[in-house]
Amino acid sequence: MQPGFCTFLRFFTLMMFCALCSGCLHLDVPPARIEFVSINHNSYSLYDVRFTSDRDLIHLYEAHGRGGQISTSLHCSLDGDLDFSVEHNIALEGYGLIEDMRLIEGDRRYEMLASIRFEDNEDRTGSSDIARSRLVRLLEPQDYVPCKVVITAFPFTAYYSKVMYVPTSRIIAEVKNPRIAPRQVSLKPADRPLTWLQFEPVCIVRWREELSPAYDQIDDVGLCRDAPYAGLLASFAPSNKKLRLITWSDQTPKPLTAYTLIRGDGRREPGISAENGDTHLVGSMTRETLKVEVGAGIGAKERWTPQI
């Protein structure tokens, strides 16, 4: 299902809810206090946001002897718009359903998980996802973005939590960090790679990024000990290097520019260049040739780093 259609469907559902609930009941429960815990890049445009709450928001209405809870979602405003009401459409927002919850033992608090995507609800191109380079530029002038949990239930008016403030530095770090670290997966014995060590953990060792469908695809699996150097581990590789993005015309660095590095084995590692134009660090067992996909008029210089 296309992101633009999902946004339209969500907006249509909320409008129908508002129309049906013009004379709705009100749940007499104080707004929940929610506090940010972490954000992690999941895949493609999805980010896992964890936060705590002093109330069980997934079963809120049931816990107070009511039924009809429709959806429980997290909304974050990226443009300073603090109107989180269901009748209002925030132009630039992070949005996602709350998918999981656990009770923090002895603390009487609940930890929630929402997988959100950052959307431009006024985009008319058919794809509402905000490009990562644009998202960084939107967030950099801000220290925090405000978020609220919104719960809809029939025949009640919408329920809203208190405001939670998420540090933009934490979001930017995840937006800039390419998701290339291998994940451990469970495979049936018949599907495992041939090896004498049948009980070794199996990891995804290569991803491929496709435009359609717009999700990462598993390209290869293997033993975790054969996984490529990625993320922080790249600095410990026998060979490592960065590229620096520059403009061809005047050879000046290009900061905060979206790029995709293509490794020697075909792996694609997307990222956003640093303030000095550098890409992320690449590590490998042997020297390899890198290719880079960038915009017109931009090139790359190879920068070898000292071996560790």
CA nearest to 283, candidates 181, 138, 208, 204: 181
What are the residue boundaries of the structural domains of the chain, listed by start?
3-176, 184-304
Helix/strand/coil for 174:
helix
User: Percentages helix, strand, coil for the chain, rounded to the nearest 5?
Assistant: 15, 40, 45
> Is the pLDDT confidence value at 297 over 80?
no
Mean pLDDT throughout 47-53? 94
> Is the pLDDT confidence value at 108 over 70?
yes
What CA–CA distance (Å, rounded) separates 149 from 96? 10
For residue 22, the model assigns a pLDDT of: 47
Q: Which residue has the tokens 């445009």?
A: 45
What CA–CA distance (Å, rounded) separates 154 from 66? 10
- Which has the higher per-residue pLDDT, 170 or 185? 170
For residue 191, the model assigns a pLDDT of: 66
The residues near 123 (Cβ < 8 Å, ≥ 6 apart) are: 4
- Which has the higher per-residue pLDDT, 1 or 14? 14
- Which has the higher per-residue pLDDT, 219 or 308? 219
Mean pLDDT throughout 217-234? 68
- Which has the higher per-residue pLDDT, 7 or 87? 87
Sign, Cα dihedral of 152, 153, 156, 160: negative
Q: Are strands 92-104 and 144-153 parallel, antiparallel or unpaired?
A: unpaired
For residue 213, the model assigns a pLDDT of: 46
Structure tokens that stand for 221 in this block = 């699996």
Tell me the pLDDT of the chain averaged across its residues. 79
The amino acid at residue 240 is N
For residue 172, the model assigns a pLDDT of: 92
- Which has the higher per-residue pLDDT, 119 or 308? 119
Structure tokens that stand for 136 in this block = 């960084």
Helix axes 168-176, 132-139, angle to 10 degrees: 160
Lowest mean pLDDT segment, chosen from 71-75, 161-165, 183-187:
183-187
Contact in structure between 165 and 101 (CB atoms under 8 Å): no
Model-wide pTM > 0.75: no
For residue 142, the model assigns a pLDDT of: 95
For residue 304, the model assigns a pLDDT of: 46
The rounded radius of gyration (Å) of the Cα atoms in the chain is 22
Q: Are strands 291-293 and 268-272 parallel, antiparallel or unpaired?
A: unpaired
